């Protein structure tokens, strides 16, 4: 930065800055150095509910103040905070941002727990007091959804044998999401479909899966079973119990009165978390949910499922929904996970060791009691062997002592 033209005054130096004439004492005139302001990234993406760091910096160490302004997608810009870089503990901040904002000595800012309303452009204004004015840097913030609530919804109001499947989410940030449809096809492969949020398909017996993604997250929906009309099956329900040691595999077999020829699809869910575990098209294809990949296997030939390396957290009820056209039969399997043998051995070893220690302490206590009783008996015996008596006469006192069979008489003259 460069100062404007100046005129000489006795003992003063006049400098014109932005149309204003400033007077300073000669020899104490300020130095206006060039300044570079930059942002580590001018576009940042953050998942909703997370923290956003607006990282900026500058080259001139004499800059006294920084302001941050926010331009929302809709509405007018407004100032969020203002502070001196030399004292980041004493800042001016908008009340609605008071508990969500932190600032740093290089002018950077962190906004915590961002929401959809935080989408927009943030401007860091470095107040230079120089003739060239302030220096600004813009950072655009884009908020994306975590896609935690994501499912497929069917609209069967269409005429004929066609229905509409739609990827649904409770988030209002759907404009930033791209979609990919797939279905379980023959030959153990997943068939892809169009990049649309909704698709129209013919009614057929098949699982459909929708994949939603944004720059920060990818999420698969549960497999949605589309069933066509065919011979109905009587609704049945049964329950069994499977017990395994922790770390071992748990195998769930369908025990109901049904053959694989009567069913075409099986869906396993974990009731505690209401999460889908795995699905299978009988004698066709299978699919394991994201949260259970590498932890569960499903047999597409008979619908049975294996849970690998079962842990205490896996204990609970698992439901198998067996489909035959538009009717379903359910089987519930309760998984009980017991402590592993190594843990049991360690527990038993600890208990045995504790019992041994208690027995040793008990023996020591008995020994102490016996010793004290013996000592007391010896003292009583000694006292009984040392009996004495005294007789008073005119000439003195005669004292008689018995020590065993020996009698000792002592005369004391008065």
What confidence category does residue 43 fall into, taking pLDDT thresholds of 50, 70 and 90?
very high
Query: In CATH terms, is domain 237-338 a member of 2.60.40.10?
Result: yes
Region 129-158: mean pLDDT is 80
Pairing, β 237-245 against β 327-338: parallel
pLDDT per residue as tens digits for the range 88-130: 888 999 999 999 999 998 899 999 999 989 999 999 998 877 6
Assessment of whether the complete model's pTM goes beyond 0.85: no
- Does residue 252 carry a pLDDT above 70? yes
The domain segmentation of the chain, as residue ranges, is: 1-31, 32-144, 150-226, 237-338, 356-414
- Does residue 66 carry a pLDDT above 60? yes
Region 292-301: mean pLDDT is 91
Of the candidate ranges 139-143, 205-209, 240-244, the one whose mean pLDDT is the lowest: 205-209
Region 268-285: mean pLDDT is 88
Burial call 64-84: b when 16+ CB within 10 Å, e when fewer: ebbbbbbeeeeeeeeebbbbb
Architecture of domain 150-226: Sandwich (2.60)
Q: Residue 57: which of 36, 76, 77, 43 has the closest Cα?
A: 36
Per-residue model confidence (pLDDT) at position 121: 96
The residue that leads in pLDDT, 307 or 210, is 307
- Does residue 370 carry a pLDDT above 50? yes
What is the CATH code for 32-144? 2.60.40.10
Helix (H) / strand (E) element for 357: namely: helix 341-385
Per-residue model confidence (pLDDT) at position 314: 92
Pairing, β 78-84 against β 87-93: antiparallel
DSSP three-state, residue 370: helix
Per-residue model confidence (pLDDT) at position 18: 35
Per-residue model confidence (pLDDT) at position 322: 84
Pairing, β 316-324 against β 327-338: antiparallel
- Tokens representing residue 154 in the block: 């069917």
Per-residue model confidence (pLDDT) at position 389: 63
The DSSP annotation for 252-310 comes to: E---SS--GGG-SEEEEEETTTTEEEEEEETTTEEEE-GGGTTTEEE-TTT--EEESS-
- Does residue 382 carry a pLDDT above 80? no
Largest CA distance in the chain: 145
Average of per-residue pLDDT values in the chain: 76
Identity of the highest mean pLDDT range in 229-233, 261-265, 377-381? 261-265
What confidence category does residue 207 fall into, taking pLDDT thresholds of 50, 70 and 90?
confident
Region 294-298: mean pLDDT is 92
- Does residue 311 carry a pLDDT above 60? yes
Cα→Cα distances 332→244, 272, 303, 329, 398, Å: 17, 12, 14, 10, 103
Per-residue model confidence (pLDDT) at position 401: 67
């Amino acid at each position: 930065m460069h100062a404007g033209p100046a005129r000489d005054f006795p003992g003063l130096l006049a400098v014109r800055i932005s149309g204003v004439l400033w007077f300073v004492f000669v020899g104490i005139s300020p130095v206006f150095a060039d300044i570079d302001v930059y942002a580590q990234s001018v576009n940042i993406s953050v998942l909703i509910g997370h923290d956003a760091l607006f990282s900026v910096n500058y080259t001139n160490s004499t800059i006294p103040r920084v302001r941050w302004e926010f331009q929302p997608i809709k509405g007018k810009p407004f100032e969020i905070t203002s502070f001196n870089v030399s004292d980041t503990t004493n800042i001016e901040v908008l009340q609605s941002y008071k508990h969500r904002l932190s600032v740093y000595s290089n002018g950077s800012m962190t906004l915590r727990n961002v929401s959809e309303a935080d989408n927009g452009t943030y401007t860091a204004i470095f107040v230079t007091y120089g003739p060239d004015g302030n220096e600004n840097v813009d950072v655009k913030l884009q908020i994306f959804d975590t896609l935690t609530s994501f499912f497929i919804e069917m609209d069967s109001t269409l005429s004929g044998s066609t229905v509409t499947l739609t990827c649904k989410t409770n988030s209002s940030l759907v404009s930033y999401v791209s979609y990919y449809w797939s279905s379980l096809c023959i030959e153990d492969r997943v068939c892809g479909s169009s990049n649309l949020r909704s698709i129209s398909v013919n009614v057929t017996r098949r699982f459909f899966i929708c994949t939603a993604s944004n720059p920060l997250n990818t999420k698969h929906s549960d497999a949605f079973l589309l069933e066509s009309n065919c011979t109905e099956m009587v609704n049945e329900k049964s329950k069994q119990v499977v017990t395994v040691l922790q770390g071992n595999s748990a195998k769930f077999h369908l025990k109901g009165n049904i053959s694989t020829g009567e069913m075409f699809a099986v869906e396993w869910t974990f009731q505690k978390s209401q999460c889908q575990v795995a699905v299978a098209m009988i004698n066709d294809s299978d699919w394991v949910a994201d949260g259970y990949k590498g932890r569960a296997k499903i047999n597409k030939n008979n619908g049975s499922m294996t849970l690998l390396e079962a842990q205490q957290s896996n204990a609970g009820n698992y439901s198998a929904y067996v489909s035959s056209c538009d009717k379903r039969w359910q089987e519930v399997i309760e998984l009980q996970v017991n402590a592993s043998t190594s843990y049991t051995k360690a527990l038993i070893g600890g208990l045995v060791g504790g019992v041994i220690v208690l027995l040793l302490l008990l023996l020591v206590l008995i020994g102490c009691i016996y010793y004290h009783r013996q000592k007391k008996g010896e003292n009583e015996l000694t006292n009984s062997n040392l009996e004495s008596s005294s007789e008073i006469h005119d000439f003195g006192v005669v004292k008689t002592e018995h020590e065993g069979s020996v009698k000792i008489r002592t005369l004391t003259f008065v």
